[in-house]
Each structure stands twice: as structure tokens, then as C-alpha cells.
Amino acid sequence: MNISSDSEYLKNLGQLVIDQLIAYRSRSMTGADKVLELKPFHELDNKLGLDKFVQQQPISVQEFQQFLDLYLHNSMHIHHPRNIGHQLAPSRFPTVLADMIVSAMNNGSGLYEMGPSASVVERWVINWMLNKIGWSSDIGYQASGVLCSGGTMANITALSAARNLASPSTWKYGCNEQQVILTSAESHFSISRAAGILGIGCDNVITIASDDTGKLLVDDLSKAITKLQDSDKKIVAVVANACTTSSGVYDDLVAIAEVCNKNKIWMHVDGAHGASAILSEKYSHLLSGIELADSVTWDAHKMLQTTSVCAGALFKRSKNIDAAFTGSAPYLSLDEDCDYPNQMRRTIECTKPAIGLKLYLTLALLGEGEVASIIENLYQKALGFYDIINTRDEFECLCKPESNIICFRIAGKCRDEQKAIRNRLIQKDGFYITETEVNGDHYFRLTVMNEATSSSDISTLLDLIIGYGDLGGNNDLID
């Protein structure tokens, strides 16, 4: 059988995938099964039996069904109401449609001619983001940006530009002076990783103290800058969090911008998770001052409801993004004026898929208002869940949540006990939650990404934790 030409076979496989995916999604949303059937790697490896299907190709429709069943069952069920773990959006219809179109077309978005429609859509999406931040060209800025495969790449893009502008010889001749980045300890690991990659060195990320909740202490930032100004170290950037990945709290962007502005230091806002709150009238105040930054990272695949990955690296001044990967090359600033904008100059990626369509179709089909109301609803839900947790004496919350991230712990329990409880919740009870450390203390961490997660899910979760908590230091919990 030649599978390329056997249209009956293809039709059957296509229909099977669509039916299975729809059934899988519906079943997940009802809360059936566990969020995660976490078998040991080698056990799942044996079960999936991947070699077999490759050796016996073309795989029959029945065999394919068998593979797909196993694959889906042993995945993270992201649509499940008891999935309160990572910051990934449960895939919605518009972004899945976009992914299908992107896949079938396989156009690039790096060069205009490799994907004209894709390039126009990317430009629209970037302009929409810039506009939300307050960087529309009509207020005197010529802002710009690029879509990247994730927030880490957007952070690297911004910090590469900041490094090249702070030390203009770096791009051509390498790092010749000691460069530093300043940020709080609660920053995402991609900041210190970016410093390692960029040749700055991850030990040269200077940690500014934060308050108990994870907010950068602006006075300490000022003092650190003053101290550095007497040294031979070059400050590349200050990175502010909006919000922190660990605890979901927002740094004071206005105050940080004031310090950066006074000292003429690049301000980067890592808004991968929290920049989306700017869409909500109720929560946009959390982003006050974001327009004062020089660059912003904003992921669409977290709160803007697209599938992963789709992240904006956004720059207040167009000429600065052109410094990210080319040092200072004046001729590149023409880009904004030319008719065929080639984003390849501004991105690490060469073959760059047409990811902008995910966000465009989400906004076009769901509507901006609906996206804003999803964000508001999830932030609001987190406050409600916090109230439930906070009224129980057995638990301590890190703080009243500012976003859809809630950190809490069992009073008096150690890290290992909490880790063991988390394992049980996943393996036995079918919940999925994460854990984190803030200021050295260990917490359970919930990220409310799903409108289907209910107060009763949270109450059940707490009851289970208390049940395990009663077991105290029982070692068989630690598996």
C-alpha cells in the first residue's frame, strides 16, 4: 500500500484523530480520570512500544487507534478541572484551528516572501501587543517586536539587545568587560540562563532582595546600582517581574522605571505570564509603568489562551530590537519603513513558523472582550480559592494572590513531606499541582488556568492534603 495515494486510508486516519481528540477533550473536561497517569519512564516506554509501529508500517487504522489511545491516556490532561499546575492554557478551538492551518501551509514568518500572509498577521499581532502596552506609534514612539518560540527566547532577545547596546563591541568582538544584570531572586530561571548563554555569566546576575511575597525591594535596587557605579562593572539591564513565576506577584514597575530612568539603565519587564492582565480594566493597574520599560516579554500561550508557543519580544524603540542580533547596524533601522519587513534579522530562529495566527484567530473568534473576561475570571477565581484556603487553620498562604497563582503550605510541614504529599495527589488522587520556593520556603503552588476548576475541587484538594498531613512524618509517603 502506498499511503500517499491511498485516500481511503488517509480519510480513516484523519477521521479517527479528529474523533479521538474531540472525545479526549470532552472526557478531560468532565474531570474523569486523573490529570496525569504518571508511570515511570521505562514502563511507559515499553507500553507505547514505538519501535513496533515503525517496523510494521504502514500501520493499520486499528494499530494507530491503539497507539493514539495510549498516547492520549498517558499525556497531561490539560483540560481537566483538577489540572491546577503549570501556566499552559487548555487549548481552545480558535488556536487549534490556527495550528491546523499553520501545519498544512508550512509557511515561514522570518522572511516576508516565505509567508506573506503569515508576516502580515505577525505584524498585526505585534502591533496589537505594542498598542496594549501603550507603545502605539502615535504617541511618539516607533515601537517594534518579534514573535518567538517562547518567553525564554523573548527574554534572551531583549537581554541580547540590552547587552549589545550597553557594550557595543560585544557583538563583533565578544564580551570584553564585566557585565551584570540586576533582578530579584524570584525571577524565572531563564534570566540567569540567558546570562550564561550570552557570555555575561550567570553569577553576574546580581540578586536584589525581595519582600516576603517575592516583590523586588526597590530601595535595595537603588543601593545596588549606586555600589556598582563605583565599580568597573557594566550594568546591562534591570529585569522586573510582571508577575513572578513562583508566587505570581507584580513588581512595582513605576518605581523600578524611575530608578532605571534616573540611572539610564535598560529596563526589561518579564511579563511572560502577567502582561495579559493589561486587557482587564479591573487588573490593568498591576501593569502601571510597563510603558516606561525598554523591552517587554509577553507570552500568548499562557493567559492569552493560545497553544504553546507564541511569545512577543517587544521593544519601545524599533532601532533597539535591531541591536539584538546584529550589534548596532544603522542600516537595519530601515526595516520599519520598508515594505517587506524581514523578522529574521530580529530573531534567533531562522525557520520560524507562522505562530502569530494562533493569537490572531483567538482574538478574531473569541473576541478581545472574551479573552479579557477569561483572564479576569481566572484571577478572580484565584482570590476565591485563596479565601477557602486561608480560612482553614491548617494552611498558611504566602500572600493574597495578585494573579491566578496561589502559594500555600501546611503549617509546620517540611519540604520533603510536602513533596511526598504532592506526589500522592498526582499519582493517587488525580490532581495536578506544582510546588515552588519563595525566599527559601517551600510551597504548594496552584495556577488556575481552567474556568472549569471549582471551589469544590479546591475543598477536595485541601481535605486530601489534610488527610496526608495527619500521617505526619510517615516515611512511606516519601516515594
Taking the complex as a whole, how short is the minimal distance between the CB of residue 387 and a second copy, in angstroms? Answer: 27
What lies within 8 Å, CB to CB, of 228 at 6+ separation is 180, 206, 235
- Contacting a second copy within 403-432 (CB under 8 A): 426
Choose one: 170-178, 286-294, 313-321, 411-419; the region binding a second copy (CB under 8 A).
170-178
As given in the structure block, the three cell numbers for residue 477 are 509517603
- Contacting a second copy within 320-339 (CB under 8 A): 325-327, 339
Nearer to a second copy, 12 or 459 (CB): 12
Identify whether the C-beta of residue 366 lies closer than 8 Å to the C-beta of residue 92: yes
Identify whether the C-beta of residue 89 lies closer than 8 Å to the C-beta of residue 302: yes
Choose one: 7-15, 133-141, 377-385, 437-445; the region binding a second copy (CB under 8 A).
7-15
For residue 363, give the DSSP letter. Answer: I
Contact code string over 28-67 relative to a second copy, x by CB under 8 A: --------xxxxxxx-xx--x-xx-xx--xxx----x--x
As given in the structure block, the three cell numbers for residue 282 are 479591573
Taking the complex as a whole, how short is the minimal distance between the CB of residue 144 and a second copy, in angstroms? Answer: 14
Give the chain's length: 479
- Contacting a second copy within 72-131 (CB under 8 A): 72, 74-76, 78, 86, 88-93, 95-97, 99-108, 112-121, 123-124
Nearer to a second copy, 68 or 383 (CB): 68
Nearer to a second copy, 3 or 414 (CB): 3
Q: From its phi and psi, is residue 89 left (phi > 0), alpha (psi between -120 and 50) or beta? A: beta
What lies within 8 Å, CB to CB, of 404 at 6+ separation is 248, 303, 378, 379, 381, 382, 447, 448, 449
| 118 to 84, 311, 340: CA distances (angstroms) | 33, 15, 12
List the one residue from 135, 171, 283, 315 that touches a second copy (CB under 8 A).
Answer: 171
Instruction: Name the nearest CA neighbour of 239 among 220, 216, 263.
Output: 216
Taking the complex as a whole, how short is the minimal distance between the CB of residue 296 and a second copy, in angstroms? Answer: 17
Nearer to a second copy, 197 or 292 (CB): 197
Taking the complex as a whole, how short is the minimal distance between the CB of residue 302 and a second copy, in angstroms? Answer: 8
Choose one: 185-193, 216-224, 252-260, 407-415; the region binding a second copy (CB under 8 A).
185-193
Taking the complex as a whole, how short is the minimal distance between the CB of residue 348 and a second copy, in angstroms? Answer: 6
Nearer to a second copy, 232 or 393 (CB): 232
- Cα 353 from Cα 19, distance rounded (Å): 27
- Asked if residue 141 binds a second copy (CB under 8 A), the reply is no
DSSP 419-474: HHHHHHHHHTT--EEEEEEETTEEEEEEE---TT--HHHHHHHHHHHHHHHHTTT-
- Contacting a second copy within 460-479 (CB under 8 A): none
Nearer to a second copy, 289 or 356 (CB): 356
H or E stretch including 120?
helix 116-133
β partners of residue 179: 234
β partners of residue 457: none
Taking the complex as a whole, how short is the minimal distance between the CB of residue 25 and a second copy, in angstroms? Answer: 6
List the one residue from 173, 226, 227, 463 that touches a second copy (CB under 8 A).
Answer: 173
Instruction: Name the nearest CA neighbour of 227 among 406, 219, 4.
Output: 219
Contact code string over 427-446 relative to a second copy, x by CB under 8 A: --------------------
Map grid coordinates 568582538 to a residue: 173
List the one residue from 172, 282, 285, 428 that touches a second copy (CB under 8 A).
Answer: 172
Taking the complex as a whole, how short is the minimal distance between the CB of residue 237 and a second copy, in angstroms? Answer: 15
- Cα 76 from Cα 283, distance rounded (Å): 30
Count of residues interacting with a second copy (CB under 8 A): 125
Nearer to a second copy, 183 or 307 (CB): 307
Cα 195 from chain centre: 19
List the one residue from 138, 139, 174, 232 that touches a second copy (CB under 8 A).
Answer: 174
As given in the structure block, the three cell numbers for residue 404 are 491566578
**311: helix, coil or strand?**
strand
Map grid coordinates 470532552 to a residue: 26
As given in the structure block, the three cell numbers for residue 2 are 502506498
For residue 90, give the DSSP letter. Answer: P
β partners of residue 434: 445
H or E stretch including 244?
none
Nearer to a second copy, 259 or 310 (CB): 310
Taking the complex as a whole, how short is the minimal distance between the CB of residue 20 and a second copy, in angstroms? Answer: 9
Taking the complex as a whole, how short is the minimal distance between the CB of residue 22 and a second copy, in angstroms? Answer: 8
- Contacting a second copy within 340-399 (CB under 8 A): 340-341, 348-353, 357, 360, 363-368, 370
- Contacting a second copy within 146-165 (CB under 8 A): 149-153, 156, 160
- Contacting a second copy within 194-223 (CB under 8 A): 195-204
β partners of residue 183: 207, 239
Nearer to a second copy, 14 or 467 (CB): 14
- Contacting a second copy within 269-328 (CB under 8 A): 299, 301, 307-309, 325-327
